[in-house]
Amino acid sequence: MSIEVIGISKTFGTFKALNNVSLNFPDGELVALLGPSGCGKTTLLRVIAGLEHADTGRIVLDGADATDKDVRQRRVGFVFQHYALFRHMTVFENIAFGLRVRPRRERPSEKDIRAKVNRLLDLVQLGWVANRFPSQLSGGQRQRIALARALAVEPRVLLLDEPFGALDAKVRKELRRWLRTLHDELHISSIFVTHDQEEALEVSDRIVLVNKGQVEQIGTPKEIYEQPATAFAYSFIGSVNEFRGRVDGDFVRVGDEKLRFQTGTFKNGQEVVAFSRPHDTEIVANPQSEDGVSASIKRILGTGAVARVELVANGEAREGRKEFFEVEIPGSDVQSLGLSTGQHVKLRGRRLSVFADQNGTQAAS
């Protein structure tokens, strides 16, 4: 089912949770709403579900206006972060609940309900826990049961709010692989909320990056990671080294030092922020090098094919704190460059992406 969000705004008191958001979710995609806490992504999910009403705007499901329809009429499956299972019901009855409360004329027979619940238990690979209660299950098992319950009512779209947020790292990784596999089998339109960038990059077909109630960027995981459109997108997705300064010809001047970059789109003296991924950042062993930003090595981690070098800026602290950097280099370079803890070096960006500091809307790589 396709989902269209048109001009949605939502305010709580004086706080603007959503500001004129418009999106189009094609049929059959698994889309991540990604952003920091408080950016509006869960509010948007609840508005799509009908659990919240927008101040302005419309929700269109499969071409039909669903703005004034309630949750049941929208046929949306919703999976909450903390499962929301009924503690006094067995796993079987939790999954069957949505079918049993249907109006009599729409309610399946008891035989059909049992057959459907058993199929769903097999789908989530938990048929053996049918007669247990939620308190007898692990967190990962409860989340899979919550998903089975949402699927029981045959929703046209599946919405998941931080579905793995309450789980430990290992279980979370296992379940997101499982969710991707399940989606590939069912092909149901799905939207999930997360603030975990790794989760969004690994699981989704597309990512909607949200910041301060507005859409910052939309794209595939590859596009979002490799072609961030704004300073926020660059800083939020993946590890990154950040350098703030001003344009000085073909350089970004950071304090009394400078980084070379190639662009003709900025004016001299313009305040900018420059980004370089750890694998695109170069360590220059000679601290007297003409260009580069001074830093000292804090730690060298890893002795295999790739070493991670953590550094701290030598210059003046910004906002009362030192700037930290991370560089990934071939393990063999640690010896060939003679790197050691406490050593003073310089950093350069092999690929430096530069954005206007005022609003992050202008970029050059």
Give me the pLDDT at residue 123, please: 87
Give me the pLDDT at residue 303, please: 66
Q: Which CATH architecture does the domain made up of 239-364 adopt?
A: Beta Barrel (2.40)
Residue ranges matching CATH 3.40.50.300 in the chain: 3-233
Give me the pLDDT at residue 80, please: 84
Q: How far apart are the first and last CA of the chain?
A: 38
Give me the pLDDT at residue 361, please: 43
Q: What is the 3-state secondary structure (H, E, C) of the chain?
A: CCEEEEEEEEEECCEEEEEEEEEEECCCCEEEEECCCCCCHHHHHHHHHCCCCCCEEEEEECCEECCCCCHHHHCEEEECCCCCCCCCCCHHHHHHHHHHCCCCCCCCCHHHHHHHHHHHHHHCCCHHHCCCCHHHCCHHHHHHHHHHHHHHCCCCEEEEECCCCCCCHHHHHHHHHHHHHHHHHHCCEEEEEECCHHHHHHHCCEEEEEECCEEEEEECHHHHHHCCCCHHHHHHCCCCEEEEEEEECCEEEECCEEEECCCCCCCCCCEEEEEECHHHEEEECCCCCCCEEEEEEEEEECCCCEEEEEEEECCCCECCECCEEEEEEEHHHHHHCCCCCCCEEEEEECCCEEEECCCCCCEEC
**CATH 3.40.50.300 holds for 3-233:** yes
pLDDT tens string, the chain, 365 residues long: the values are 889 999 999 999 999 999 999 999 989 999 999 999 999 999 999 999 999 999 999 999 999 999 999 888 888 889 887 778 899 999 999 999 999 998 889 899 999 999 999 999 998 889 999 999 999 999 889 888 988 998 998 888 999 998 887 677 787 888 888 888 888 888 899 999 998 898 999 999 999 999 999 999 999 999 999 899 999 999 999 899 999 999 998 899 998 999 998 766 888 999 999 999 999 999 999 999 888 999 999 999 976 789 999 999 986 555 555 789 999 999 888 889 999 999 999 999 998 899 988 554 444 54
Give me the pLDDT at residue 103, please: 87
